[in-house]
Amino acid sequence: MATTESDVLDVERIREDFPILDREFGGEQLVYLDNAATSQTPDQVVDTIADYYRHTNANVHRGLHQLSQEASIAYEDAHDRVADFIGAEGREEIVFTKNTTESMNTVAYAWGLAELGPGDEIVLTEMEHHAALVTWQQIAKKTGAEVKFVPVDDEGYLDMDAAREMITDDTEMVSVVHVSNTLGTINPVSELADIAHDHDALCFVDGAQSVPHMPVDVQDIDADFFAFSGHKMCGPTGIGVLYGKEHLLEEMQPYLYGGMMISKVTFEDSTWHELPWKFEAGTPVIAQGIALAEACDYLDDIGMENVRAHGEHLAEYAHDRLTETFDDIRILGPPADDRSALVSFNLGTVHAHDTSEILNEFAVAVRAGDHCTQPLHDKLGIAASARASFYIYNTTAEVDKLVEALEATEELFA
Ligand code: 7TS
């Protein structure tokens, strides 16, 4: 059983970068365990945004004036930094979007509408976030393609035998979540990409919950497309990333049209700017992009292997403490020692919303609901679950506080 504090991170030091963690509610210090929804933002990233607006703010790719040149260089360099963070070849493969959802929609519209038709199949998994599930479902309706779902077994793992049977020569796209935001399952995405490629299908990996928590190399995975959000990895809101293999992005038509993404425009027709700008129409997410690059620096300074070890340690500790403390608790997903940095659960018959309300009285912030995985909750036979999700600044003492607050919740509803 995991009982000792993770010694891979100097958590006390890290917490100094996050003054928000000192906030108190009703005299209790905040215990922030809603990191899978959004992580907190360190001073270094906040300062980068403030510095940008104080000293460098200008539109990019336009003016020949000095400020615009400086902003343009910083914005373009941010693409290189993010490319390096996930092992992409270069900035051509990194499109800045608003979030994971927009990255998904970009491919669904730009690639899916053009390439899919009746007889084609899109293979998803039962644990997809609505960002993938709803998007591909709607693209399927528009194109006549069919959506299939790889089942999730009782332990929260994908049924890989079923996946091998379901992915066939009719499959055009396999879209799979790397780490489930509800179950904490870490999926074998590289194997799924291989299976997809054996059938000449493409593989889209939703990395919203993996990039913040573990080293990711998109080339090792051999993903064709890969998406994640800045706000779950110490970055700001309002920025997401779409990685795409260069030759695929080259072949795709843009999703949004307008300024910045064009090369030559006449009254009759237009041609497109080079990658990645072809997919970044209008004034882009300049401050957010530059701040995301800073977030990559921040996480790399800590070390992504250490980030991973710490988060998994806390999840294991929480899983163990919850199972040993409560007779009547249902924890979703894989065993304690094989999950990413989160634990979703239901305490007896207490509704998850009630649980989170009581926890809030103790200043313990968790998420309650379906976590944008309604069909998965339906399959599990529950309407909602409570979820504690961890990051670099959380401690086992905070998990203990969660458990204490849950003991009070159980008593209240006994
Ligand atoms: N994919 C996964 C696996 C996610 O966890 C999320 C957000 C998204 C996609 C969408 O990211 P967005 O930045 O476009 O919103 N998940 C959650 C969550 O679990 N609680 O709040 C947001």
The domain limits of the chain are 11-32+304-412, 46-301
The confidence band for 341, taking pLDDT boundaries of 50, 70 and 90, is very high
Beta bridge partners of 388: 343
pLDDT at position 6 over 90:
no
The confidence band for 1, taking pLDDT boundaries of 50, 70 and 90, is very low
Q: Per residue in 88-122, pLDDT tens?
A: 999 999 999 999 999 999 999 999 999 999 999 99
pLDDT at position 136 over 70:
yes
Backbone angles phi, psi at 380, to 5 degrees: -80, -5
Minimal CA–CA distance to 37: which of 366, 404, 293?
A: 366
Ordered DSSP codes for 251-319: HSPPSS-SSSSEEEE-SS-EEEPSTTGGG--SS--HHHHHHHHHHHHHHHHH-HHHHHHHHHHHHHHHH
pLDDT of 2: 43
- What is the H or E stretch that residue 229 is in? strand 225-229
Minimal CA–CA distance to 14: which of 394, 317, 322, 353?
A: 394
pLDDT of 22: 98
The confidence band for 10, taking pLDDT boundaries of 50, 70 and 90, is very high
Q: Per residue in 284-325, pLDDT tens?
A: 999 999 999 999 999 999 999 999 999 999 999 999 999 999
Minimal CA–CA distance to 171: which of 141, 137, 203, 142?
A: 203
pLDDT of 62: 73
Beta bridge partners of 243: 94, 226
Average predicted confidence (pLDDT) for the chain? 97
CATH for 11-32+304-412?
3.90.1150.10
Give the mutation target among 100, 106, 180, 389 for probing the ligand 1 site: most ligand atoms within 8 A of CB. Answer: 100
- Give the mean pLDDT of 258-287: 97
pLDDT of 5: 60
Q: Per residue in 140-193, pLDDT tens?
A: 999 999 999 999 999 999 999 999 999 999 999 999 999 999 999 999 999 999
pLDDT of 158: 98
Q: How far is CA 174 from the centre of its chain?
A: 18
With pLDDT > 90 as the criterion, what percentage of the chain qualifies? Answer: 97
Domain 11-32+304-412 identical in fold to domain 46-301: no
Q: Which residues line ligand 1 (CB under 6 A)?
A: 36-37, 99-101, 129, 131, 177, 181, 206, 208-209, 229, 240, 367, 371-372
- Give the mean pLDDT of 222-245: 98
With pLDDT > 70 as the criterion, what percentage of the chain qualifies? Answer: 99
pLDDT of 61: 80
* Domain 46-301 in CATH 3.30.70.100: no
pLDDT of 63: 75
- Give the mean pLDDT of 249-267: 97
Q: Per residue in 24-69, pLDDT tens?
A: 999 999 999 999 999 999 999 999 999 999 999 999 987 789 999 9
Backbone angles phi, psi at 77, to 5 degrees: -60, -35
Q: Rounded CA gap, 5 and 372, in Å?
A: 32
pLDDT of 317: 98
**What atom in ligand 1 is closest to the CA of residue 101?**
14
Give the mutation target among 177, 181, 232, 390 for probing the ligand 1 site: most ligand atoms within 8 A of CB. Answer: 181
- Give the mean pLDDT of 366-382: 98
Distance 129 CA to ligand 1 centre (A): 7
